[in-house]
Structure 1
Amino acid sequence: MNETLRSLLDGNADHAREFDSRFDDVQDGQQPAAVTVCCSDSRVLQDHVWGNDEPGSVFTCANIGNRVMQRTDDGDVVSGDLLYPVAHTGTETVVVVGHTGCGAVTATFDDLTDGLDEPAGITHCLDILRPRLEPGVEALPEGIEREDAINHLVEYNVDRQVEFLVESEEIPADVGVVGVVYDFQDVYSGRRGEVHVVNVNGETDVEQLRAAYPDIDSRIERRWEY
């Protein structure tokens, strides 16, 4: 038997033993407090990021580049993965989770600056990110190092995803939209694995955010105020 599959199944057996009784209250429905849109990077452990181990608490979506939109014949719309809990389970908080060193942001940067030849499925994802990141690439500080450029654009990408949701008529006005960056590369001032709030409902000014949300002011931090 494939050793990777065996290891996954062993891990699931442990999970089933631990979680057996935790599904009693959510077997017939769900009302998650938040929906998160994370990058599908293997280093971003979606539930563990929040210390969550309760089924039914967080509705998790993942894709490369933590994109909140999908492309249709009528243009870009809010992704159904994200929209479902907002429309059908009463979820009132959306959290867009970028992360340092994002591969999708890196690939988009490289595509915009040098051009890339990727398989069609990856190209489709980059095509959605490209028009939103291109102004950010053009606005990068002169002479910035590549690693810093990528992490500047990680924030910029989170901002664009939040902006799309805030401006969309599909997201009710009373739904809060928060943008954060998960750091495991010592880019921000906290510990590895900490989430840093960079955007709330389209507001990106750090001082204004800290004044508006004093209870989390130590977790509000940006690398780039453009």
Structure 2
Amino acid sequence: MDTLASLLAGNRDHAKRLSDSFDHLQEGQQPDAVTVCCSDSRVLQADAFGTDQPGEVFTVGNIGNRVVQVRDDATVVSGDVLYPLVHTDTKTAVVLGHTGCGAVTATYDALTGDMTEPPGIEHCIDLLAPRLADGVELLPHDLDRAAAIDRLVEYNVDAQISALSDSPHVPDDVTLAGCVYDFQDRYGGDRGEIHVINVDGERDPETLRETHPEIASRVSRYWSY
């Protein structure tokens, strides 16, 4: 119970700090963005964007920062991602992958060899695998494992953005941004920086910088394919 006690102590500080921050949120929410991040303890989802107030970001977390689920044998945009885009007038969706992603690594292993995982984890990998299979085929053959995974992290983010873009349920006026959180010095800059690799399906860094000068310094890709 020591861990739970520590968590609750932290919550007490949280409640004191934010006690007046919920006044305007009693009847509903209108977050500026929905973020879809990987369930990884090294990626502090809201804090990664400097968000410290309730109501600003609708946070979704799962293994592999997926935006899809399977319903009636069809792949659709997950309800937890779609909800703010349909019901809270949220106009920005951010898919945030991260360097050294364990889910991408497990999917890579499943696509290139054997995999033994509990059924729940296997289900998550099965949702990622169809979108990563072509990326695995595109990888240069002389890459080491770490370099392959880093490229597939970007490929996975691109694939999730494509799933959002292709969905008839995602409103046309929603901006779709694909990013990578780097804590392994892959992109340069400080550890913990977020790098933009995709906006509305556009992946070319130079084009992104020209089209979106306000974020030009944050645009960087590890892999162009």
TM-score when normalising by structure 2 = 0.99
- Partner of residue 216, structure 1: 215
**1:200 aligns to 2:195 (yes or no):** no
- Partner of residue 186, structure 1: 185
- Partner of residue 16, structure 2: 17
**Any gaps of 5 or more consecutive residues in structure 2?**
none
CA distance in 2, matches of 1:155, 1:3: 38
CA distance in 2, matches of 1:171, 1:182: 24
CA contact (8 A) 2:94 2:177 kept: yes
For 1:79-125, what per-residue CA distance to the aligned partner results, in whole angstroms no more than 9, with x for missing partners? 00011011110001000000000000000001111110111000100
- Partner of residue 93, structure 1: 92
CA distance in 2, matches of 1:177, 1:159: 10
- Partner of residue 153, structure 2: 154
- Partner of residue 114, structure 2: 115
- Partner of residue 27, structure 1: 26
CA distance in 1, matches of 2:95, 2:120: 22
**Any gaps of 5 or more consecutive residues in structure 1?**
none
Q: Which residue type is aligned with residue 163 of structure 1?
A: S
CA offset at residue 204 of structure 1? 0.2
Q: Which residue type is aligned with residue 82 of structure 1?
A: V
- Partner of residue 173, structure 2: 174
Q: Which residue type is aligned with residue 157 of structure 1?
A: N
**1:77 aligns to 2:73 (yes or no):** no
For 1:116-160, what per-residue CA distance to the aligned partner results, in whole angstroms no more than 9, with x for missing partners? 011100010000100110110111012101101001000000000
Give secondary structure in 1 for the equivalent of 2:34.
Answer: strand
**1:39 aligns to 2:31 (yes or no):** no
Give secondary structure in 2 for the equivalent of 1:182.
Answer: strand
CA offset at residue 74 of structure 1? 4.0
**1:59 aligns to 2:58 (yes or no):** yes
Instruction: Name the count of aligned residue pairs.
Output: 225
CA distance in 1, matches of 2:88, 2:172: 16
TM-score when normalising by structure 1 = 0.98
The alignment's C-alpha RMSD in Å is 0.7
Runs ≥4 residues deviating over 4 A: none
CA distance in 1, matches of 2:223, 2:54: 35
**1:139 aligns to 2:138 (yes or no):** yes
CA distance in 1, matches of 2:68, 2:142: 32
CA offset at residue 214 of structure 1? 1.2
Give secondary structure in 1 for the equivalent of 2:157.
Answer: helix
CA contact (8 A) 2:35 2:95 kept: yes
